[in-house]
Amino acid sequence: MIEIKGLKKKFGDNQTLCGIDLTVDSDIIFAIVGPDGAGKTTLLRILAGIMRPDDGLINILGHDIVKNPESAKRYTGYLSQRFSLNPTLTVAENIDFFGTLYEVPKSRKEDRLKRLLEFSRLGPFKDRQAGKLSGGMKQKLALCCALIHTPRILLLDEPTTGVDPISRRELWEILYDLLAQGVMILVSTPYMDEAERAGEIMMLHRGKTLARGNLEDLKSKFHHKLYEMVCDDGRKAFEIIVGQLGDDRVVFFGDRLHLALDSEQQMLTLKTFIADAGLKINSLDQISPGLEDIFMQELLYAK
C-alpha cells in the first residue's frame, strides 16, 4: 500500500534522505527508528504530502504523490512532532475543525467525534481548551484530529517524545486498537525500546536504511556474540576495551557494558586484559541482543 523507490531529499548541502526504498503492504505498525537527524521527520513529511522530494517514486494506495501530493491526503492522517493544535479551541472544537477541513459529512462527523472521544478517553475533557491539557492528553487529542476522517494510513512523527510513561503506554494501546480496525501505522521514534513494540522496524541513519525487518529477523542478523559486563570501574574498563577493539564494539547501558565480540576466545583475552589492569569484573554473561545492539552492529557494518 506504500511503495517508495529511490527517495532523495537534500537541504542545502545536507543530503537528508539518500535513496530510501521501502514497501509496506500489509496492515502493521511500522516503526522508523533512528537518532535525531536520521531523516525520520523528512520521510514522514514527504509521505504526508507537505514536502516535495528531490527524486524518487512514492505510491500510496495507488496514488502517485510525487506527481500529485494532494491525491492521498484524504486517506492519510499525519501527526507532527510537536503539539500543533489551536490552544484556545476546546477538545471537541479542535476535532470538529479538522473534520470540516477533511470534509467529513456532518452526520458522520458527530458519530465519529463521539467514538474518538470515547476511545481516547478524552470524553470528560471535551469542553476544555486544548492549551490547558496535559502533555499526554494533548498528544491523544492530536491523534483524534488526525483520525477524524478515518484514514487508511496513519503517519506519526515521534508521538511519544516528551510524553510520560503511562500516557505512552495508553498511546500504544490506542495504536494497537487502530491496527485491529485496519489502519496501517507508520511511526517514527528515537527510542529503540519503543520500536520493539512495532510489527516491523526500519533503522534509519543519516538518510540511509541500515536494516529492516521484524524484531526476530533483525535479531537473527546479529552475527556477533553479545556480552553484558558489570565492572567496579566501568569507565576504566570501557577505555581498556576501546584501546583493544576500537570504540564501535562497546556501548554503555546504564552501569553495564555491552560488548559485541567475534568469538568466545576474544572475550577471554579481553577478560585477562581487564583483570591485569586490576579491575574487578562482577559479572559477565552472554545475552540476546536488543534493538540498540543491533543498531550499533549495523552501524559498524555500514562503515
Partner 1 sequence: MNRIYFIAWKEFIQLLRDRRTLGLMLIAPAIQLVVFGYVATTEVKKNKMVVCDYSRTPDSRHFTDGFLSSGYFEIYDYVTDDSEIDRCLDRGKAVVGIIIPPDFSRNIKRGKETSVGIYIDGTNSNLAMILAGYLRMITNQYSRKISINYIKGLGIDPPDLVESRSRVWFNEELKSVNFMVPGVMAMLTLMLLLNLTALGIVRERERGTAEQLSVTPIKPLELIMGKIVPPVFIGYLIITLVMVVGLVWFNIGFAGSVLLLYLFALFFIIAALSAGLLISTFSQTADQAMWTNQVFVIPNILLSGFIFPISNMPEPIQLATYFLPMRYFLQIIRGIFMRGAGFAQHWDEALILLLWGVVVIFLASMRLKKRLV
Among 9, 40, 63, 73, binds partner 1 (CB under 8 A): 73
Query: In the complex, what is the shortest distance from the CB of residue 210 to partner 1, in angstroms, rounded to a whole number?
Result: 28
Half-sphere exposure for 289 (CA within 13 Å, toward CB): 25
For partner 1, the binding residue among 50, 268, 277, 300 (CB under 8 A) is 50
Based on CB atoms, which residue is closest to partner 1, 87 or 246? Answer: 87
Contacts to partner 1 from residues 79-108, by CB under 8 A: 80, 82-89, 93, 97-98, 100-103
Interface with partner 1 (CB under 8 A), residue from 32, 38, 43, 49: 49
CB of 64 to partner 1, least distance (A): 16
User: How far is Cα 203 from Cα 32, in angstroms, rounded to an integer?
Assistant: 6
Distance of alpha carbon 72 from alpha carbon 47, whole angstroms:
9
- Given a contact cutoff of 8 angstroms between Cβ atoms, the answer to whether 40 and 188 are in contact is yes
Return the number of the residue (157 or 293) whose C-beta is nearest partner 1: 157
Q: How far apart are CA 134 and CA 154, in angstroms?
A: 23
Least separation in angstroms between CB 231 and partner 1: 45
Nearest in space to 137 (alpha carbons), one of 150, 149, 128 = 128
Q: Which residue spans within 125-265 are E strands per DSSP?
A: 153-157, 184-189, 200-205, 208-213, 225-231, 250-253, 256-261
127-146 residues in contact with partner 1 (CB under 8 A) are 129, 142, 145
CA-based radius of gyration for the chain: 23
With binding defined as CB under 8 A, does residue 48 bind partner 1?
yes
Order across the sheet with 14-24: list the strands: 14-24, 2-11, 55-60, 63-64
Minimum separation from the CB atom of position 17 to partner 1 (A): 18
Q: How far is the CB of 71 from partner 1 (least distance, A)?
A: 10
Q: Binding residues for partner 1, per CB under 8 A? A: 48-50, 70, 73-74, 76-78, 80, 82-89, 93, 97-98, 100-103, 129, 142, 145
